[in-house]
Amino acid sequence: MVLVLTVAGSDSVGGAGVEADLKAVASMGGHGAVALTAITAQNTVQVRKVFPLPPEQVTAQIMAVMEDTSPGAVKTGMLYSPSIVLAVAPLLEELGAPLVVDPVLFAGAGSPLHREGLAESLVQDLFPLATIITPNREEAEALSGLDISGPESLDQVGARLLESGTQGVLLKGGHMGGAMAVDILYTADGTYEFASPRLDRKVHGAGCTLASFIACGLALGMSLRDAVREAKRRIYDSIAMSLPVGQGMDCINPLATLYKEAMRSRVLDAVRAGVRELEERLPPELVPEVGMNLAYALPYPQGYDEVCGVQGRLVRAGERVRMAGEVCFGGSRHIARVVMAASAAEPRMRCALNLRFSEERIEMIRSFGLQVGHFDRLGEPEAVSSMEWGTAEAIREMGHVPDVIFDRGGPGKEPMIRVLGEDPGHVLSKVRPLLK
């Protein structure tokens, strides 16, 4: 077990601050200790009031923790005033643990969370001690004195903040434009990008949670790059599975990755049950020449290892259908791409099955009352995944995820039918009239 000390404010609605920090650290198997800097009266809509603690009360908490434990890392969040920065900096320097500074200047709703002079004090007194700082766009501009207007200005801001003495600067991409949310890590050794699809939502507590994930990763012995990479993976889940606590922004869900991992056995069991039914009841003539797969993803899958399928696919074995390998995560790539494209459009659509194509079969499927979309491989752009592009193209044409997507193939490409649904039971319910 590792211990991470968070020096930050309290959020009365429980979405940010030390409340988010403790959940983030616990989700990675660590123990969180707290030195409270301020109490806020806030909710998901606004910050009503800030009650800062006197600096001596903040340092007393840090000293109490230091006397009794050995923090593996420290994360600072809302420090509020220059006097608090000046009070805590010598203690954190003495501790010597990896230090993650989230330079909180504003709440997610836009309300200021600092007194005049805080930005200057952070740069002068705390950044030289930091392993990494994690500003968003607005904070980076305020701390560097530079405007961010494009890629070149990003690099200028990153370089300027590195000059403060911190070992790393993570410019977060959540407030930037583009289809991908790209976080850029600047270090003396180089620049590294960490990208994830942009989610169409604004959440409360993302900055606090990301910094806490990084701090816990460093406490666990990860390199700075690996700690940022793991934090990026977890923050995507935390935003994607955010919680509608109040009437304003959703609250971040730091436990999301933990919840996803807990779903793995349930997803495995569901795919195994679906495969058993296919082996028992599927007519062999429905198996494509390239084989068949049933794939089912965890919520908001970030890669093949979060999609469960049949390793080696389902194949014809005489007059029967049999698995060529085991059911496992990462067992499918072809159908996993279909699942990931469908779930990106509609998160509940996390499962797919492919069938052998024929025009008669498509007409039969339509007669079941199922919605059918299609795509033409001749329109496929170069250097793209056929399955992801084709699935997304059919969904775009339909305006939603249909029950079935097919294509008529192309040079060297077998035509195919793909059945989509929420889970294996839902998918199989759509094709049961075709089973024995």
Q: For the segment 282-315, what is each residue's pLDDT rounded down to a tens digit?
A: 999 999 999 999 999 999 999 999 999 999 999 9
Q: Report residue 36's pLDDT band, with 50, 70 and 90 as the boundaries.
A: very high
* Separation between Cα atoms, residue 34 and residue 22, nearest integer Å: 8
Euclidean distance between the first and final Cα of the chain, in Å?
Answer: 54
What is the sign, positive or negative, of the torsion defined by CA atoms of 398, 401, 406, 407?
positive
Distance (Å, whole) CA 84 – CA 98: 19
| 301 shares its domain with 199 | no
Rounded to 5 degrees, φ, ψ at 402 are: -80, 175
Enclosing domain of residue 397: 263-434
Cβ atoms 275, 323 nearer than 8 A: yes
Residue 118: pLDDT band by 50, 70, 90 thresholds? very high
Q: Which amino acid type is present at position 74?
A: V
Calpha distance 25→6 (Å, rounded) = 10
CA 183 to chain centre: 12
Residue 200: pLDDT band with limits 50, 70, 90:
confident
CATH number at residue 379: 3.40.225.10
**pTM summary value:** 0.93
| Domain boundary, last residue among 260, 281, 310 | 260
Residues 211, 279, single domain; the answer is no
Same domain, 11 and 40: yes
Q: What angle do CA 263, 199, 377 make, to 5 degrees?
A: 90
3-class SS of residue 328: strand
Identify whether residues 342 and 429 lie together within a single domain.
yes
User: For residue range 67-103, what is the model confidence (pLDDT) as tens digits?
Assistant: 999 999 999 999 999 999 999 999 999 999 999 999 9
Is the same domain home to 273 and 362?
yes
Same domain (yes/no): 181, 288: no
Out of 211, 237, 260, pick the residue that ends a domain. 260
Alpha helices, DSSP H only, in 28-131? 55-68, 82-95, 118-121
Structure tokens at 20: 């988010």
CATH of the domain at 161: 3.40.1190.20
**What is the rounded average pLDDT of the residues 197-223?**
95
Q: Are residues 212 and 341 in the same domain?
A: no
Q: What residue type is assigned to position 169 of the chain?
A: V
Q: Identify whether residues 26 and 120 lie together within a single domain.
A: yes
Give the integer Cα–Cα distance in Å for 18 and 34: 7
Q: Is the pLDDT of residue 136 over 80?
A: yes
Write down the pLDDT at residue 387: 86
Q: How far is the C-alpha of 215 from the C-alpha of 32, rounded, in Å?
A: 11
- pLDDT > 70? residue 113: no
Cβ–Cβ under 8 Å, residues 108 and 250: no
Q: Do 216 and 271 fall within a single domain? A: no
Q: Per residue in 345-401, pLDDT tens?
A: 999 999 999 999 999 999 999 999 999 999 998 888 887 778 899 999 999 999 999
Number of domains in the chain: 2
**pLDDT > 70? residue 143:** yes
Pair (129, 12) in one structural domain: yes
51 plus 136 within the same structural domain: yes
Q: Rounded to 5 degrees, what are φ and ψ at 259?
A: -60, -40
What angle do helix axes 206-219 and 224-240 make, rounded to 10 degrees?
Answer: 140
Same domain (yes/no): 334, 430: yes
Share the mean pLDDT of the chain.
Answer: 94
Question: What number of CA atoms fall less than 13 Å from residue 166's CA on the CB side?
Answer: 31
Q: How many residues does the chain have?
A: 436
Residue that terminates a domain, selected from 207, 235, 260 = 260
Return the DSSP state at 259: H
